[in-house]
Amino acid sequence: MFFTRISSAALIALLVMMPAYAQENPILKRMEAFTRAYNAGDAVGVSEFYIEKGALLPPQSKALVGRNSIAAHYAKAFKNGVTNLTFKILEIDQIGPATAVEIGETQVKIGAQTIHGRYLHVWKKVNDTWSISRDMYHVLGATK
């Protein structure tokens, strides 16, 4: 009985602390900043969230390696009217002191359509800053 009470108290304390930890997660903060650059239509700014030789793996396309290629991809998307990125992180799994994997879902607007997608980011910590090393996304569907 004593063990059950201690376990319950520990679980409650953990659940109370989780929202604060989630809000302080540096990858969440980076994704919020990434979204601000994206929604400002700043292709170069978005590309700076990737490591120098980062790779973007868009659907039905070749791998885009390096910030210049990634910036060109986003510039084309913004020119085609892609706006209003929102994201929902489903999971962040820190694999070591300098590597983490994030899985999430996105929505963007193109005209009257909302495009729903899913992504996987591999993050690397370089000089105390978390940056995207690999980025793969795919489209789940579109709604009006």
Average pLDDT estimate for 105-119: 97
Q: What is the pLDDT of residue 12?
A: 38
Q: What is the pLDDT of residue 23?
A: 55
Class of domain 25-143: alpha beta
Which of left, alpha, beta for 55 (phi over 0: left; psi -120 to 50: alpha)? beta
Domain ranges of the chain: 25-143
SS3 96: strand
Is residue 101 very low, low, confident or very high in pLDDT (cuts 50, 70, 90)? very high
Average pLDDT estimate for 78-105: 97
Taking the model in full, what pTM does it have?
0.83
Q: What is the pLDDT of residue 66?
A: 98
Q: What is the pLDDT of residue 9?
A: 41
Average pLDDT value for the chain: 88
Q: What is the pLDDT of residue 113?
A: 97
User: How distant, in Å, are the alpha carbons of 74, 117, 123 from that of 126?
Assistant: 23, 28, 9
Find residue 43's DSSP bridge partners.
Answer: none
Angle at 23 between CA 17 and CA 28, to 5 degrees: 135
**Predicted confidence (pLDDT) at residue 6 exceeds the cutoff of 70:** no
Is residue 24 very low, low, confident or very high in pLDDT (cuts 50, 70, 90)? confident
| Best CA proximity match to 28, nearest among 116, 88, 84 | 88
Supply 39's token pair.
């929604």
Spatial distance between the Cα atoms of 15 and 124, rounded to a whole number of angstroms: 28
